[in-house]
Structure 1
Amino acid sequence: MEDNKEMINEEIKTEVVENEETTEKESVVNDESNNEEKVETSEGSESTEEDELDMIKKQNKKLQEELDTTKDTLLRLRAEYDNYRRRSIKEKEGIYSDAYVDVVKEILPVIDNLERAIAADGTLEDLKKGVEMTMKGCQDAFSKLGVEEIDATGEFDPNFHNAVMHIEDESLEKNVVAEVFQKGYKKDDKIIRHTMVKVAN
């Protein structure tokens, strides 16, 4: 009987020892597995961080290229605008200069006639005729330049007339031009000089 007990005890011990060894092996295997997972997780997080860093670098490079392109475009536009402004100023000056030349060309014949009239010996009638010819030359020059005399007859119009005097005259209607003191001139719709008039009240 004691032999049986000893045998049973030995079997129990053997089972316990085997169970302990199995538990230790499982523990070692679990530890190794956990360590491998930790290493894999660590490697995975390092890989993810590198990918994010690469992506950020690429985005940064792309944004820098876009910024450089925008700066270049802005500089070109600024240079083009400056050139355009200079050209416009030069063209404007050229237009004014050409206009002055055109006006002087039209007035020169009038001056020539006045010089001839002064140099000529003649009667009062000849002088009057010379002044009339000069006046005609001025009118022709104005006509070529598109300058017209402002009509001063009829109702007073502040857009064309400058009233310097008012009179009471029953023979005239109210607000009518009674007399012209100085003729006015215009070119197209632009007033060069208003007609100076006397207006009836």
Structure 2
Amino acid sequence: MDKNKNDLNPEEKVENLNLEDENVKEESSVVNEPEILEKEEYDNIVDLKEFSKYKDEALKTKEENNELQERLLRVTAEYENYRKRTTKEKESIYGYACEDVLKNILPVLDNLERAALTDGSAEDIKKGVEITLKQFKEALEKLQIEEIDTNSGFDPNMHDAVMHVVDENLGEKEIVEVFQKGYKKGDKVIRYSVVKVAN
């Protein structure tokens, strides 16, 4: 049964007004819903675009990282091969150097062995030793090894002074006696001359 709005008691009027308010709110929320959906959809699209962009960047970074790791492995392997190769080369150079020295010295050894087997006079032995000494000096010359000069005065870079003598007749840092000859190859001292120095 329909009552006129005016016929309603005050409680019914309040209840009716509350119902109308709820209906208006529902209608307004229904009206706003498409706007909210559109905004959410837009945000989702933006999020997807950003996600896609970050995903592409991550894939690109991963590819670059893989490429760098491969390069690092190649360089490491190349370095290891280089190290092994140079070690082998050093060993072979040392072997060749020793071989070269021995080729030059072995003839001297041969002559010493022959001299030891002969029964000769002291003069013959002396002659044989002189020839062998000459041959040995020639071998050193072929190896570019030379005797250190002791006539030009004491040089701590070339000589090892084991004795010192004070003599007014001798000059400053003059080498008085050579106990053991020194040898060098180029600028490299192989063995220092052991000497006695004056003043």
Q: TM-score, normalised by structure 2?
A: 0.83
Q: 1:134 aligns with which of 127, 132, 135?
A: 132
Aligned-residue offset at 1:114? 0.7
Counterpart amino acid of residue 56 in structure 1: Y
Counterpart for residue 64 of structure 1 = 62
Cα deviation code 1:100-138 (max 9, x no counterpart): 111110001101111111122211111000000010011
Indicate which of 174, 179, 182 corresponds to 1:181.
Answer: 179
Indicate the residue corresponding to 1:6 in structure 2.
none
Distance 2:173 2:53 in 1: 85
Percent identical pairs in the alignment equals 50
For 1:124-163, what aligned pairs fall within 5 Å after superposition? 124-163=122-161
Q: Quick one: which amino acid aligns to residue 186 of structure 2?
A: D
Correspondence 1:98-109 to 2 at 5 A: 98-109=96-107
Deviates more, 1:94-103 or 1:37-46: 37-46
Given candidates 26, 41, 50, the residue that maps to 2:39 is 41
Matched letter for residue 112 of structure 2: L
Q: Which residue of 1 aligns with 2:115?
A: 117
Shift of 1:29: 9.1
Larger Rg: 1
Matched AA of 2:64: E
Where does residue 16 of structure 2 map in the other structure?
none
User: What amino acid does structure 2 have at the position aligned with 1:181?
Assistant: F
The Cα of 1:175 is off from its aligned counterpart by 1.4
CA distance in 2, matches of 1:175, 1:195: 14
Q: Secondary structure at the match of 2:153?
A: coil
CA distance, structure 1, for counterparts of residue 142 and residue 153 of structure 2: 29
Match of 1:55 in 2: 53
Corresponding residue SS for 1:151: coil
> 1:55-85 CA distances to partner (integer Å, 9 max, x unpaired)?
1111111111111111111111111111000
Separation in 1 of the partners of 2:179 and 2:108?
24
For 1:112 and 1:39, the matched residues in 2 are separated by: 107
**What residue is the counterpart of 1:193 in the other structure?**
191
Report deviation, 1:35: 2.7
Could you say what secondary structure the match of 1:159 adopts?
coil
**Structure 1 residue aligned with 2:80, among 70, 79, 82?**
82
Look up the SS of the partner of 2:155 in the other structure: coil
In structure 1, the gaps of 5 or more residues are 1-26
Gaps of 5+ in 2: 1-24
